[in-house]
């Protein structure tokens, strides 16, 4: 009963409304593309994270950037997003799409995979740009905005795929 009384004190500030809107948009995106492209998108997040971590030209970009920001965390997040879009487009047209092509999964399965992917992506961004953490409630930060949380969010989709049943 105390849980219900705490819901009546829930305030919807601009940050909470934006978070709910972002969550709804991601879930609609995941549901519209289906399981096959969700798996390709998840693989693209892993590829983009590795490419961003291995990118050797951040110093050169900071020194020679005129039209883009010289803030290193924003450069890292920008490169991550560009690498994600590029790898998603390439992997979506590659042979991997056929390999991942299975019968479409259930509604709940696709939503769980989308939530795991969203958590992983948000955790990556908050670890790359820690100054942006002030937009989140402090009660959420330990679960999403540190190295240990990033590791768990990276493992969550893999564990979900390992234990999910494959329909034939």
Residue 126 lies inside a defined structural domain of this protein: yes
Give the model confidence (pLDDT) of 4-19 as tens digits: 454 455 566 666 676 6
Residue 168 lies inside a defined structural domain of this protein: no
Band the pLDDT of 133: cuts 50, 70, 90.
confident
Residue 91 lies inside a defined structural domain of this protein: yes
Residue 28 lies inside a defined structural domain of this protein: no
Q: What's the number of domains the chain is made of?
A: 1
Residue 105 lies inside a defined structural domain of this protein: yes
| Mean pLDDT over the full length of the chain | 78
Band the pLDDT of 168: cuts 50, 70, 90.
very low
Over residues 129-137, mean pLDDT: 77
* pLDDT given at position 102: 53
What is the pTM assigned to this prediction? Answer: 0.76
Residue 75 lies inside a defined structural domain of this protein: yes
Give the structural domain span for 108.
34-163
Give the model confidence (pLDDT) of 32-56 as tens digits: 667 778 888 889 999 999 999 999 9
Residue 12 lies inside a defined structural domain of this protein: no
Contacts of 42 (CB under 8 A, 6+ apart): 113, 116, 117, 120, 157
Residue 8 lies inside a defined structural domain of this protein: no
């Amino acid at each position: 009963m105390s849980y219900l009384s705490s819901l009546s004190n829930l305030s919807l500030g601009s940050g909470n409304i934006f978070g709910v809107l972002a969550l709804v948009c991601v879930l609609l995106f995941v549901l519209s593309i289906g399981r096959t492209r969700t798996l390709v998108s998840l693989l693209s997040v892993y590829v983009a994270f590795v490419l961003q971590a291995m990118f050797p030209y951040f110093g050169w970009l900071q020194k020679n950037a005129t039209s883009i920001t010289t803030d290193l965390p924003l450069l890292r997040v920008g490169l991550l997003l560009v690498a994600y879009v590029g790898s998603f487009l390439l992997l979506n047209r590659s042979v991997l799409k056929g390999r991942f092509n299975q019968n479409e999964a259930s509604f709940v399965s696709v939503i769980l995979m989308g939530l795991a992917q969203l958590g992983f992506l948000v955790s990556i961004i908050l670890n790359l740009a820690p100054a942006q953490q002030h937009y989140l409630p402090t009660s959420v930060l330990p679960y999403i905005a540190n190295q240990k949380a990033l590791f768990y969010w990276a493992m969550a989709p893999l564990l979900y795929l390992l234990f999910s049943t494959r329909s034939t």
